[in-house]
Amino acid sequence: MNKKTVKDIDVCGKKVLVRVDFNVPLNEKREVTDETRIVAALPTIEYLLSQNAKIILCSHLGRPKGEFKPEFSLAPVAQRLEKLLNRKITFAADVIGPEAKAAVENIKEGEIVLLENVRFHKEETKNDPDFAKQLASYADIFVNDAFGTCHRAHASTAGVADYIPAVAGFLIGKELDFLGNALENPVRPFVAILGGAKVADKIGVINNLINKVDSIIIGGGMAYTFLKAKGNEVGDSLVDEESIGLSLDLLKKAEEKGVDIFLPVDAIEADKFDANAKTQVVPVEHMSAGWMGLDIGPATRMLFTDKIRTAKTVVWNGPMGVFEMEAFAEGTRAVAKAMAESEAVTIIGGGDSAAAVKIFGYADAMTHISTGGGASLEFLEGKELPGVAALLDK
Ligand code: AMP
């Protein structure tokens, strides 16, 4: 990585504002149900503690749309962080209000303050310079460790870097190393697997990956746009009509570049979008009018898992079917299992695929599971992430 990290700057005894990604799921009792993102930020926090820094943490949680909403408070996260670090956390119930200001003013070496949800201010997502300046005024140094929001140019991810020296935390370093190495220095054969519903989100990714990979596997709802582009009738399956032309262009480009694209050869189609729908397995050439493909079929599972078994690097983003419903989870499970059993470098690009890998119990077997779905997708697309671009160069 060509950006300075927290190790390249003297943080001893300094006030350090750390943007973390504590956007964790909460249940109705407002308890943290998955602490992965909190745990992912610990190496940076522990390093800063070892340097006696004065640590001011800030994060967003959910989409409160610029106003205080108790269900989006970071208070439960402060409690969980206290347990994980086994030390007291001062939780400030505002961001640029009197509580935060007092807490930051009185902070001592080796202490931690967690500010309330930065998205309680609409200025955050607008990257308002005054808001960013106020946040920056709390500290001598800014450390960005929120990989999950690096693709957003917000006040607390990019704006603050205009006012104080900004460096990367260890999580961002790790994410960029794994994703960057896979793209720039892959052990071959390198296979990318893409799925999910929104084909438009992934056109740019495929376009970039065609220049890097040996083959691309396309499953999930997005596959039907490609199948339709190739002339298949796909019944009521998800199709993005506007992306049909682009899909054809990509198939052509892949052929010119000698990159194999593998599409489903069969599907599990359902008579309605429902966990208890009637289902049947059909070859993609014979999909039924009025039915919709909600998972890849058994022949496709074999085809895709064979390709995964012979790969040396696999990057995966997007489920193979509506895995949230057990009837349509088999394809996603098969891909997760094949990756888990493979000796290859296996990288999960966050979001739904990361959730699926955890649900199916394969998380420990992967080389790297990204904490940022949107951010890793934009990285795979070859875009510069604003939260990374704002950091000091090495
Ligand atoms: P995305 O945000 O584009 O990665 O899409 C993820 C969503 O795609 C998940 O919620 C899946 O349920 C959904 N999905 C996967 N396969 C299909 C399909 N064949 N038809 C409809 N939705 C799908």
234 lines ligand 1 (CB under 6 A): no
Give tens-digit pLDDT for 24-80. Answer: 999 999 999 999 999 999 999 999 999 999 999 999 999 999 999 999 999 999 999
User: How many H helices and E strands in the chain?
Assistant: 14, 15
| Fold agreement between 6-171 and 180-380 | yes
List the residue whose alpha carbon is closest to atom 18 of ligand 1.
221
269 lines ligand 1 (CB under 6 A): no
Sheet strands side by side (includes 279-283): 279-283, 266-270, 292-296
Residue corresponding to tokens 């376009």: 207
Atom of ligand 1 nearest to the CA of 322: 12
Q: How far is the CA of 219 from the centre of ligand 1 (A)?
A: 10
304, 320, 322, 380, best to mutate for ligand 1 pocket (most atoms within 8 Å of CB): 322
Cα end-to-end span (Å), the chain:
8
Gyration radius from the chain CA atoms = 23
Q: Name the β-bridge partners of 82.
A: none
| Per-residue pLDDT, 166 | 98
Active site (annotated) includes residue 374 = yes
| Per-residue pLDDT, 367 | 96
List the residue whose alpha carbon is closest to atom 5 of ligand 1.
196
Give tens-digit pLDDT for 307-335. Answer: 999 999 999 999 999 999 999 999 999 99
109 lines ligand 1 (CB under 6 A): no
Give tens-digit pLDDT for 160-186. Answer: 999 999 999 999 999 999 999 999 999
Atom of ligand 1 nearest to the CA of 237: 20
Sheet strands side by side (includes 166-168): 90-92, 112-115, 54-58, 15-19, 141-144, 166-168
Active site (annotated) includes residue 198 = yes
Catalytic residue among 3, 15, 19, 37: 37
Q: Name the β-bridge partners of 193.
A: 217, 316
Residue of 44, 18, 48, 24 lying closest to 36 (CA atoms)? 24
198 lines ligand 1 (CB under 6 A): yes
Residues 112 and 45: their CA atoms lie apart, in Å, by: 9
Percent of the chain beyond pLDDT 70?
Answer: 100
| Per-residue pLDDT, 205 | 96
CATH homologous superfamily of 6-171 = Phosphoglycerate kinase, N-terminal domain (3.40.50.1260)
Q: Name the β-bridge partners of 200.
A: none
Residue corresponding to tokens 């990204």: 370
Q: Name the β-bridge partners of 293.
A: 269
Active site (annotated) includes residue 331 = no
Q: How far is CA 182 from CA 193, 205, 209, 344, in A?
A: 13, 14, 11, 11
What band does 212 get if pLDDT is binned at 50, 70 and 90? Answer: very high
pLDDT higher than threshold 90 for residue 375: yes
Catalytic residue among 198, 312, 358, 383: 198
The single-letter code of the amino acid at 223 is A
What band does 272 get if pLDDT is binned at 50, 70 and 90? Answer: very high
Estimate to the nearest angstrom the gap between the alpha carbon of 334 and the chain centroid.
21
Mean per-residue pLDDT over the chain, rounded: 97
Catalytic residue among 159, 195, 331, 351: 351
Active site (annotated) includes residue 297 = no
Residues 315 and 376: their CA atoms lie apart, in Å, by: 11
Residues 296 and 293: their CA atoms lie apart, in Å, by: 8
Residue corresponding to tokens 């957003």: 152
Q: What is the mean pLDDT of residues 236-246?
A: 97
264 lines ligand 1 (CB under 6 A): no
Q: How far is the CA of 196 from the centre of ligand 1 (A)?
A: 4
List the residue whose alpha carbon is closest to atom 11 of ligand 1.
322
Q: Which two tokens stand for residue 156?
A: 């607390």
For the chain, the residue count is: 394
pLDDT higher than threshold 90 for residue 1: no
Residue spans of the domains in the chain: they are 6-171, 180-380
Q: How far is the CA of 98 from the centre of ligand 1 (A)?
A: 44
197 lines ligand 1 (CB under 6 A): yes
CATH homologous superfamily of 180-380 = Phosphoglycerate kinase, N-terminal domain (3.40.50.1260)
C-beta of residue 37 within 8 angstroms of C-beta of residue 24:
yes
pLDDT higher than threshold 90 for residue 207: yes
Atom of ligand 1 nearest to the CA of 293: 19
Q: What is the mean pLDDT of residues 127-150?
A: 98
Percent of the chain beyond pLDDT 90?
Answer: 99
238 lines ligand 1 (CB under 6 A): yes
pLDDT higher than threshold 90 for residue 351: no
Residues 48 and 51: their CA atoms lie apart, in Å, by: 5
